[in-house]
């Protein structure tokens, strides 16, 4: 079983792909509620417990995590946000290692997309292109919409985790 994670301090996407390449789990873990999760440590504890629960139901052999951004880009996340995300990514990576006994492999989003066969041309929205690909190619992927017709929060995170898990499956299959 391959575990793919798209880690965020707000919503973490989670996917499990079995040895045949079939998606057996695709969900998101929402940690946006500031009353339930006032600190990064409360969010990490929730993710820890969720991973622990997952470990009771599934035998995970490999873990792939979307690599956090490494550089500041004007108009996008601030340096403070990138630092917090990187810290949280490290905490969750450690939880993966301590729970499953597996060292997670970091995958850049662009590398994962390429592995899966998602071609993004210059100027295209890579996240939207990935989402469209998952909707078209994964029959079990469920998209819920808001009353305004937009995908509900967490949908893109689930999509991104599927891409990471599927790329992980392709990488593991190529190694064996």
What's the chain's Rg over C-alpha atoms?
Answer: 16
The token duo for 94 is 């450690």
CA distances from 176 to 113, 131, 146, 155, 170 (A): 21, 29, 43, 32, 10
- Bridging pattern class, strands 2-6 and 62-66: parallel
| Banded model confidence at residue 23, pLDDT cuts 50, 70, 90 | very high
Q: Is 79 helix (H, G, I), strand (E, B) or coil?
A: helix
Q: Is the pLDDT of residue 78 over 90?
A: no
- Spans of all domains in the chain: 2-175
- Per-residue model confidence (pLDDT) at position 106: 96
- Bridging pattern class, strands 23-30 and 11-17: antiparallel
Q: Is the pLDDT of residue 4 over 60?
A: yes
Measured CA angle at 76 (ends 162, 28), to 5 deg: 25
Q: Is the pLDDT of residue 101 over 50?
A: yes
Could you report the per-residue pLDDT of 103-161, keeping only the tens digit for each? Answer: 999 999 999 999 999 999 998 898 899 999 999 999 999 898 999 999 999 999 999 99
Q: Is 23 helix (H, G, I), strand (E, B) or coil?
A: strand
Instruction: Give the CATH number of domain 2-175.
Output: 3.30.420.10
For the chain, helix (H) and strand (E) counts, in that order, are 5, 5
């Amino acid at each position: 079983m391959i575990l793919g994670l798209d880690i965020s301090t707000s919503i973490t996407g989670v996917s499990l792909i079995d040895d045949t390449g079939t998606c057996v789990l695709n969900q998101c873990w929402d940690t946006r509620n500031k009353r339930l999760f006032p600190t990064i440590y409360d969010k990490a504890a929730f993710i820890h417990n969720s991973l622990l629960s997952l470990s009771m139901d599934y035998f995970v052999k490999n873990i792939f995590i979307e690599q956090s951004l490494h550089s500041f880009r004007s108009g996008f996340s601030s340096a403070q946000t990138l630092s917090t995300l990187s810290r949280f990514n490290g905490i969750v990576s450690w939880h993966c290692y301590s729970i499953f006994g597996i060292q997670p492999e970091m995958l850049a989003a662009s590398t994962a997309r390429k592995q899966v066969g998602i071609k993004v041309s210059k100027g295209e929205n890579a996240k939207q292109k990935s989402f469209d690909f998952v909707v078209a190619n994964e029959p079990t992927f469920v998209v819920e919409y808001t009353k305004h017709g937009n995908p509900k929060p967490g949908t893109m995170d689930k999509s991104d985790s599927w891409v990471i898990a599927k790329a992980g499956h392709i990488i593991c299959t190529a190694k064996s």
